[in-house]
Amino acid sequence: MLNDKDLPKTLQQAIQYFSDKDVCLKFVASMLWADGIAVCPHCGNNTTSFLSTRRIWKCKACKKQFSVKVGTIFEDSPIGLDKWLTAMWLIVGAKNGISSYEIHRAIGVTQKTAWFMAHRLRLAMQSGTFEKLSGNVEVDETFIGGKAKNMHKHKREAIIQGRGSVGKTAVMGLLERKGRVLAKVIERTDRETLHAEVKSNVESGANLFTDEWRSYRGLDEQYIHEVINHSTEYVRGHIHTNGIENFWALLKRTIKGTYVSVEPFHLSRYLDEQMFRFNERKGNDKDRFLEVAKSIGGKRLTYKELIGSSAWQ
């Protein structure tokens, strides 16, 4: 087991600490197997032997060999754990995200590899909690995509109508004040969709704050629903949606300033990254790094899946 006091606290310390392959191996193993006993990912048996010359294990039950990468986001990757763990530190510590080009230059891999690595790391950032939001909860939706002002005048006049959502991806967000935020790509912003998401993620009886969008009507049957009319005011006492709108500002600043352009197909993974960063905002770089490291197991993203054709996963 690794001593928590010995773990790095800064990027410079992380690069030095994880430059040793044996340290990387012990660290990842400790994240996967808390008791220090290797478990075969093929059959689940814990009677294994370690082959030190190859840094792999052999299961005495099924006779199969496996490395510490099997069954994790690192599986089938030829990239060393030293680079993987440095990339993990970079992405969790970047306040406004970090582009694949920056990772490519920092750790010495191709930009394509860095892009693939970043998406695998975002998968580890994905929250697995099923606990519903409660107390005071703000709900809002936004649209991610090209700005109307960047379009040619004739094209803008032809396609931009109403809320100007044509050609953009809808995202719904729910924020528990002084707590967590949940955000999800949705296909529509109609009443059925929004009501279903609220009921799935917010405890009955909670105080719900929304804007005047008509699709939110009817939520007062299950919640204490307060509405702020943005055409006349933005705050009325404790009634506002400023918290979730702040999250939208952070998300759009990251996309516009760091990633520049995000395909709708990949947007959900960038949401995972931004939610993780927001929900772990009170911790330091080391805390966030360990939180992601603890979530590397049981998650795998192949390149074929990453560039697949289905945007709704």
> How confident is the model over 231-274, as pLDDT tens digits?
999 999 999 999 999 999 999 999 999 998 899 999 999 999 99
- State the number of CA atoms in the 13 A half-sphere of 154 facing the CB: 0
Identify the pLDDT of residue 159: 47
Whether 216 maps to a domain, the answer reads: yes
Identify the pLDDT of residue 183: 96
Identify the pLDDT of residue 34: 82
User: Which DSSP category does 149 fall into?
Assistant: G
What dihedral do alpha carbons 140, 259, 302, 185 form, nearest 10°? 10
Looking at every residue in the chain, the average pLDDT score rounds to: 91
Identify the pLDDT of residue 179: 94
Whether 18 maps to a domain, the answer reads: no
If one compares 125 and 166, the residue with the highest pLDDT of the two is 125
pLDDT digits (tens, 9 = 90+) for 188-227: 999 999 999 999 999 999 999 999 999 999 999 999 999 9
Tally of domains in the chain = 1
Mean pLDDT across 80-84: 97
Q: Which pLDDT band holds residue 26 (cuts at 50, 70, 90)?
A: very high
Identify the pLDDT of residue 236: 94
State the Cα–Cα distance between residues 133 and 206, nearest whole angstrom: 8
Identify the pLDDT of residue 149: 54
Domain boundaries, position 203: 136-262
State the Cα–Cα distance between residues 20 and 30, nearest whole angstrom: 16
Beta bridge partner(s), residue 66: 57
Mean pLDDT across 45-58: 94
pTM for the predicted model, two decimal places: 0.88
Identify the pLDDT of residue 43: 94
State the Cα–Cα distance between residues 138 and 273, nearest whole angstrom: 20
| Non-local CB neighbours of 135 within 8 Å, separated by 6+ positions | 176, 177, 179, 206, 207
Identify the pLDDT of residue 161: 52
Identify the pLDDT of residue 311: 42
Whether 172 maps to a domain, the answer reads: yes
Spell 247-282 as b/e; 16+ CB within 10 A means b: bbebbeebbeebbeebeebbbbbbbbbbbbbbbbee
Whether 41 maps to a domain, the answer reads: no
State the Cα–Cα distance between residues 272 and 123, nearest whole angstrom: 7
Identify the pLDDT of residue 146: 64
User: Which DSSP category does 72 fall into?
Assistant: B
| Non-local CB neighbours of 201 within 8 Å, separated by 6+ positions | 132, 133, 174, 182
Mean pLDDT across 36-41: 92
H or E element in which residue 11 lies: helix 11-17
Residue 162 has pLDDT above 70, yes or no: no
Spell 53-77 as b/e; 16+ CB within 10 A means b: eeebbbbeeeeebbbbbbbbbbbeb
Q: Which pLDDT band holds residue 308 (cuts at 50, 70, 90)?
A: confident
Q: Where are the beta strands (DSSP E) in the chain?
A: 48-51, 56-59, 65-66, 136-144, 169-176, 181-186, 207-210, 224-227
Whether 156 maps to a domain, the answer reads: yes
Whether 254 maps to a domain, the answer reads: yes
We report the CATH number of the domain holding residue 166 as 3.30.420
Whether 207 maps to a domain, the answer reads: yes
Mean pLDDT across 115-137: 92
Whether 45 maps to a domain, the answer reads: no
